[in-house]
């Protein structure tokens, strides 16, 4: 890894666990520990925020340079030159998480019961940065987490359908980001680094019903970019048949501020209206929402079981 990239990552709070893998504490970990405000995924799915690791096995590798992405994109690669060992990544991520949270032990405002539980993580979000399906040993990585009693939440941009089709085991929950309603907007907003990116995403949506795991389609929405096409999103969602749909507003953070304006952030009311229209078009139930995250949950089945942690 180039030293310039290491300096950027260190400044942003990443802890490397290999040549191409890393962990970073989530904003909502701090909120849960200090203010009892968990991540919306705890509200929606039962994931315990303070027991969740946010990590990536493909730190600097991606197939897109999305304008709304918070990450630094100056060193992006489309493949891994070196592949970290999955056991090394798993054990390294757990140890890195423990180091990153250790400072809260001296904070009188921290919930010490939650902190004790945090040293024994039960969830991992394979989503921090980069595109995890570019990591060629992804199935082994997921299996190693499962062996340790840790549920897995894989977030992908959907451009590697052949990986998802053969992935074994599948993650506990699979997120596919669909941030464009059509190919024209896809090319402008998601800036693909590979050929046939839109076709490959459509292929992922086509195979999604055959994947035997919990599935989520996430629509990252930006004003004046991709919000005015509810009917086209509905067609994509009905093709994919996920268990959940998450319309979520873009947040003006990180390096995305160099690419789009603050005016691109929709209000929660605008996300709510988009979601109501999408619910009517798809038949998905308007299930829940979190205004502080500008996100709504639509469910295919009412009261679909949550993921529980003892």
Q: Is the pLDDT score of 310 beyond 50?
A: no
pLDDT tens digits, one per residue of 31-47: 999 999 999 999 999 99
Distance of CA 210 to the CA centre of its chain: 21
pTM for the complete prediction? 0.95
Q: Is the pLDDT score of 150 beyond 50?
A: yes
CB 231 within 8 A of CB 281: yes
- Domain 3-299 belongs to what topology? TIM Barrel (3.20.20)
Q: In this structure, what is the dihedral angle of CA atoms 285, 291, 295, 301, given to the nearest 10 degrees? A: -20
Whole-number average pLDDT of the chain: 95
Distance of CA 129 to the CA centre of its chain: 8
Joined tokens for residue 42: 């705890």
Q: Is the pLDDT score of 75 beyond 50?
A: yes
Write the CA distances from 193 to 101, 115, 183, 188, integer angstroms: 35, 41, 14, 12
Provide the pLDDT confidence category of residue 309 given band limits of 50, 70 and 90.
low
Q: Where are the domains of the chain?
A: 3-299
- pLDDT above 70 coverage of the chain, percent: 98
Comparison of pLDDT for 150 and 5, the residue scoring more: 150
pLDDT tens digits, one per residue of 274-303: 999 999 999 999 999 999 999 999 999 988
pLDDT tens digits, one per residue of 83-106: 999 999 999 999 999 999 999 999
* Phi/psi of residue 65, nearest 5 degrees: -120, 70
């Amino acid at each position: 890894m180039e030293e310039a990239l290491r300096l950027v990552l260190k400044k942003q709070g990443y802890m490397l666990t290999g040549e191409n893998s890393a962990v970073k504490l989530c904003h909502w970990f701090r909120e849960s520990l200090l203010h009892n405000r968990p991540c919306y995924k705890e509200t929606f799915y039962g994931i315990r925020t303070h027991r969740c690791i946010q990590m990536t096995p493909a730190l600097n590798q991606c197939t897109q340079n999305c304008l709304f992405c918070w990450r630094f994109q100056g060193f992006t690669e489309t493949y891994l030159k070196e592949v970290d060992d999955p056991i090394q990544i798993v054990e390294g991520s757990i140890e890195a998480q423990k180091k990153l949270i250790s400072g809260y032990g001296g904070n009188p405002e921290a919930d010490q019961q939650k902190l004790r539980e945090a040293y024994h993580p039960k969830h991992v979000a394979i989503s921090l940065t980069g595109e995890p399906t570019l990591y060629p040993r992804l199935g082994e990585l997921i299996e190693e987490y499962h062996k340790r009693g840790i549920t897995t939440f894989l977030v992908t941009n959907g451009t590697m359908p052949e990986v998802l089709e053969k992935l074994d085991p599948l993650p506990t929950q699979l997120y596919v980001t669909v941030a464009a309603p059509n190919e024209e907007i896809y090319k402008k907003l998601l800036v693909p680094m590979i050929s046939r990116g839109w076709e490959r995403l459509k292929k992922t949506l086509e195979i999604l019903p055959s994947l035997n795991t919990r599935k989520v389609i996430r629509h990252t929405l930006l004003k004046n970019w991709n919000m005015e096409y509810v009917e086209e999103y509905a067609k994509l969602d009905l093709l994919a048949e996920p268990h959940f749909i998450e319309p979520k507003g873009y947040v003006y953070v990180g390096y995305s501020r160099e690419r789009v304006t603050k005016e691109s952030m929709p209000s929660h009311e605008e996300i709510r209206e988009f979601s109501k229209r999408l619910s009517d078009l798809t038949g998905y139930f308007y299930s829940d929402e979190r205004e502080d995250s500008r996100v709504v949950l639509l469910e295919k089945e009412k009261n679909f079981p949550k993921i529980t942690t003892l």
